[in-house]
C-alpha cells in the first residue's frame, strides 16, 4: 500500500516527468506564492485593522508555522533529537521562509551561527508601493526562535538588527543562533 493517496500519486507522476531545472523553478514559484498569499492577507488585515493588529496576527501565525515546519523538516531529514546549531541552520535553510530569501548570508560554526538578510523582497515591495517599512522584528523573531527551540530548547536566538531597528541599506535583518 502506498503512503500517498491516489491524487498525490498522480501529481507525483506528473511532477516526476519535469526536467529538474523546470521542477526547481516550479518549486520556487510555489514558495513565492505562499509568501504572496501571506503578504496579501497581511495587507488586507493592515488596511482594515491597522499595522499593529496585522502584526499581532502575523506573529501568531508564523510562530505556529515555525513549530510545524521545524518538526516536519526534522522528520523528513532525520535530524534526531536536540540537533546542534549546524543541523538547525541546515534545516532552517530548507524552510519556506529561508527559501524565499535569496539575498541571505549564513555563517555557521559548531556552536554559533548568524543569518543575515541583505535584501528583503517584502520590504522592497512595500517601499515601492509607497508604504512604510514593516516593523517585522516581532514576527520574524517569533518564527526563528520557535523554529530553533522546537528543534532544540537549548538554542538561544538573538536579533542583532531588524525593522523597526535602524539598519544599514545593505542589511535588513541579522540573527544569531547559539547553544
Q: Which residue's entry shows cell 541579522?
A: 174
- The three cell numbers of residue 18 are 519535469
pTM: 0.90
CA distances from 147 to 67, 133, 150 (A): 5, 24, 5
pLDDT range class, residue 9, cuts 50, 70, 90 = confident
Tens digit of each residue's pLDDT (9 = 90 or more) over 145-167: 999 999 999 999 999 999 999 99
Tens digit of each residue's pLDDT (9 = 90 or more) over 110-132: 999 999 999 998 899 999 999 99
112, 129 Cβ separation under 8 angstroms: no
Class of domain 6-178: alpha beta
What is the rounded distance in angstroms from the CA atom of residue 107 to the CA atom of residue 114? Answer: 5
What are the structural domain ranges in the chain?
6-178
26, 18 Cβ separation under 8 angstroms: yes
Amino acid at each position: 500500500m502506498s503512503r500517498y493517496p491516489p491524487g498525490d500519486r498522480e501529481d507525483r507522476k506528473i511532477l516526476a516527468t519535469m526536467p529538474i531545472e523546470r521542477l526547481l523553478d516550479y518549486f520556487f514559484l510555489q514558495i513565492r506564492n505562499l509568501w504572496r498569499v501571506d503578504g496579501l492577507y497581511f495587507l488586507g488585515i493592515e488596511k482594515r485593522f491597522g499595522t499593529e493588529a496585522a502584526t499581532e496576527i502575523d506573529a501568531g501565525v508564523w510562530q505556529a508555522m515555525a513549530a510545524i515546519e521545524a518538526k516536519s523538516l526534522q522528520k523528513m531529514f532525520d535530524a534526531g533529537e536536540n540537533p546542534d546549531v549546524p543541523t538547525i541552520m541546515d534545516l532552517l535553510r530548507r524552510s519556506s521562509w529561508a527559501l524565499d530569501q535569496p539575498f541571505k548570508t549564513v555563517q555557521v560554526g559548531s556552536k554559533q551561527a548568524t543569518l543575515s538578510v541583505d535584501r528583503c523582497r517584502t520590504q522592497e515591495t512595500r517601499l515601492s508601493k509607497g508604504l512604510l517599512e514593516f516593523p517585522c522584528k516581532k514576527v520574524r523573531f517569533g518564527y526563528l526562535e520557535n523554529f530553533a527551540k522546537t528543534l532544540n530548547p537549548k538554542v538561544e536566538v538573538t536579533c542583532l538588527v531588524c525593522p523597526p531597528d535602524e539598519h544599514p541599506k545593505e542589511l535588513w535583518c541579522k540573527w544569531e543562533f547559539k547553544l
